[in-house]
A and B are shown apart, each in its own frame.
Chain A
């Protein structure tokens, strides 16, 4: 008994200065914010809003980092490039009309490269997910041929999308129509099965395909007629591209490195090489000067309670929150999420249990890169884009994930918003360019005193 109490005492003595410091710092922060609000409520409102809209972007990046970090335990520096790819994807697709064609870029090499990446990823996905079934039914050679054919068709489709982005709504309508068909058909079939509890479902299948096809046609036609949707379709394409490149890097590069050595630092250096090469390639294709993105809706400022608010920023926060909710649902409600958590706990055991870890981690990389690209897109619409934007966003996302607690998804979201707010209030009386310094100080404070972050992992 006495030994136990003494141990507790010892640990408390060891922690006391740190706890005291935490309390003092937290009190100082709260006091400072109260002082700031009392000084000028309008400015406080303005900064809160700015902090939230920047924080949404940081949180998106931090979620991407955390997702990957909690499965493979390394920080993928590719996300810096993914943010730039997302933003420049929009620029590439929409440079034709929206900016008066001033900076029109359409590089055949870029189209071919991304078409090849798409083809490769589609081929890989088909092979990993349906390969065995296809082999059993058609035999080895024709299964391979079929996979290659589908991959080739999808790659060519992506090539067409990239080469003629002017009519993106028309080109993309069939894809969206087919997706709608699949989704509606699946939904109808599942719902009908649940409602009637019948095991024989062939009639339902036909009915659901008919309903789905009808919906798909309606959606496709509506899309093809809506010219204004091109910008948002470009978002989808750009995020998809960045995600697929991330997946390709995981499958083509990181898996090889993990197989050879199990050192996280080697993977980090390899991803540093990826980041260097991709940043330089972006500069070669698009030049290093900043470029504007086409106006998204809601670029006109509103006045709310003395603060100037851009409608787009509200929309950006909404998009980010929707993305978080979708991701959390995916991770908490599906078997995929279960396997992600299993891999995070112990990859070897997950493998033994029969989880295809390569596929699951590849999808995690895909999702992470999509989130980073989305952050890049939102940031790009808010300010101008430049090839090196990814580096600073990388740092901020990294800091946000540390602030929230490395490896905790909720932590990453909270950390992103917290970092955005701290940054804004930290430069209360300073010029805006010092906010990087503020976030660095936050990073050092958290690493030194609360290395587990706001919401520690378990």
Chain B
């Protein structure tokens, strides 16, 4: 009997935790995050809320798509940022308006495509890479899968940084255009936010369709017992590959949105640590629920932006402080609630 367990038991028996059954943690967490979000928005006003919500939409697309792989199929991937980066770089390379000859480095081809021409290409390339990677990764499971996905994140970063002819390396790519419907360019923040939210809704819808279909049930069965479902005649590898590719394509969409929104990308947005943070968000929010990923992404964005207003924290350390809090939260959750805040499955 450890001290912590005893303390928890004592708290539960006598203290403030009495009368809170375990299942209610979900409801309380949800309400807390939502109240926090609304309060924050009221406090900060419209302008900041719009930025915040856009960031949330991009992270949420990533988290929901990663949850398909981690939560529903049971493959713990820490390399999702690679597909995000592929989507972003495809968008940047194909759509950038910048003429690099002025900028002292070797020129890269800038086809100067519109956003909506580059978007499907970005998604398709993310999907194709995922297909190639997935064929190799499919045979691995558990901690070996973590290892290879870890490696994938590092390798994709290495490609973004070192394929200078294509990605301009550490200089990054500038002047990535906003989406435009004919003559109507989504230059305003509100318009872009609306577009991002539509994308998020679309992704959530697709994920929901996948999860509630028979395809989704096979995925859950693979997660629970791969051999058993294979005995029933399902081709496990095909299912895993399909969900991996779909998830990567959604991440590619998020990447394209991100590139277009910030209008400048460099490899530092796609480092391994960000990928680990993403996995942490998914686990934090809750595995195998779409709502959990949305909640996790919301809590994550609020965490970062909330920390900007802590008086004792220097502004340059906000990102690090967020990472510390997230790491500690992850450890605490693994101790007391391994399925995450609203999760339906634990690793």
Interface residues of A (CB under 8 A from B): 74-75, 253, 255-257, 259-261, 263-270, 272-281, 283-284, 388, 391-392, 394-395, 398-399, 402, 431, 433-434, 436-437, 440, 443-444, 447-448
Contact = CB atoms under 8 A, between A and B. Distances in A.
B144 A269 contact: no
A281 B277 CA distance: 15
Top-10 shortest CB links A-B: A277-B327, A273-B330, A276-B327, A280-B323, A265-B347, A270-B334, A280-B320, A273-B331, A273-B327, A280-B324
Given A263-B347, A280-B321, A447 B283 contact: no
Contacts of B326: 273, 276-277
Contacts of A284: 317, 320-321, 324
Contact of A280 (B151, B162, B327, B334): B327
Interface in B137-151: 139-140, 142-144, 146-148, 150-151
Given A263-B338, A270-B331, A279 B273 contact: yes
A268 B76 contact: yes
B342 interface: no
A279 to B, nearest CB: 7
A358 B320 CA distance: 33
A259 B3 CA distance: 13
B158 A433 contact: yes
Contacts of A265: 76, 142-143, 146, 347
Contacts of B148: 443-444, 447
B346 interface: yes
B329 to A, nearest CB: 7
Contacts of B42: none
A276 B271 CA distance: 13
Interface residues of B, number: 49
Given A269-B334, A272-B280, A280-B321, A437 B136 contact: no
A256 B151 CA distance: 29
Contacts of B46: none
A19 B274 CA distance: 39
A433 B150 CA distance: 18
Contacts of A260: 335, 338
B136 A444 contact: yes
Nearest to B277: A276
A261 B337 CA distance: 11
A433 to B, nearest CB: 5
Interface in B61-87: 76, 78
Nearest to B142: A265
Nearest to B338: A266
A446 B334 CA distance: 31
A275 B334 contact: no
B277 to A, nearest CB: 7
Determine the main DSSP class of A at the interface with B. helix
Given A274-B327, A394-B150, 18 more contacts: A75-B146, A259-B2, A265-B347, A269-B330, A269-B334, A273-B328, A274-B331, A276-B273, A276-B280, A276-B330, A279-B323, A280-B320, A280-B324, A281-B320, A284-B324, A399-B151, A402-B144, A433-B158
A269 B162 CA distance: 30
B302 interface: no
Nearest to A439: B151
Contacts of A75: 143, 146-147
Contacts of A278: 327
B96 interface: no
A266 B347 contact: yes
A447 B140 contact: yes
B327 A253 contact: no
B162 A433 contact: yes
Contacts of B335: 253, 256-257, 260, 270
A391 B273 contact: yes
Contacts of B331: 253, 270, 273-274, 277
Contacts of A266: 334, 338, 346-347
B310 interface: no
* Of listed A257, A263, A273, A391, residue having the most chain B CB within 10 A: A273
Contacts of B162: 431, 433-434
Given A437-B155, A437-B158, A447-B140, A269 B273 contact: no
* Of listed A276, A398, A431, residue having the most chain B CB within 10 A: A276
Nearest to A249: B331
21 contacts: A260-B335, A263-B347, A268-B146, A269-B334, A270-B335, A272-B78, A273-B328, A273-B329, A273-B330, A273-B331, A276-B276, A279-B323, A280-B319, A280-B321, A280-B324, A280-B327, A283-B320, A398-B150, A433-B162, A434-B162, A440-B151
A388 B273 contact: yes
Contacts of B154: 391-392, 395, 436, 440
Given A265-B143, A269-B76, A276-B277, A436 B329 contact: no
A391 B327 CA distance: 15
Contacts of B151: 395, 399, 440, 443-444
Contact of B324 (A261, A269, A270, A281): A281
A444 B317 CA distance: 37
Given A265-B143, A436-B158, A275 B276 contact: yes
A402 B145 CA distance: 13
A105 to B, nearest CB: 15
A263 B346 contact: yes
B320 A272 contact: no
B347 to A, nearest CB: 4
B237 to A, nearest CB: 14
A248 to B, nearest CB: 13
B303 interface: no
Given A263-B338, A277-B323, A433-B162, A269 B283 contact: yes
Contacts of A272: 78, 276, 279-280, 327, 330
Nearest to A435: B158
A447 B144 CA distance: 9
B2 to A, nearest CB: 6
A279 B280 CA distance: 15
B277 A269 contact: no
